[in-house]
Amino acid sequence: MLASGMTEEEILAEFPYLEKEDFPAVCGWVSQAGRERFSR
């Protein structure tokens, strides 16, 4: 969603069970998953 242009605030409004503190963890996971995908 961030990659498509949504802001963190828009995502939080759409998914109220998320918290702003969740974003760094998600970004870290995506970064690691991308590295693993391209290192194969």
In the chain, domain spans: 8-38
Is pTM, for the whole model, over 0.85? no
- How far is it, in rounded angstroms, from Cα 21 to Cα 4? 20
pLDDT computed for residue 28 by the predictor: 82
Q: Which residue has the tokens 């990659």?
A: 3
Residue pointed to by tokens 């995502």:
11
Give the tens place of pLDDT for each residue, 3-40. 899 999 999 999 999 999 988 888 888 777 766 667 66
One DSSP character per residue, 1-40 reads -TTTT--HHHHHHH-TT--TTHHHHHHHHHHHHHHHHHT-
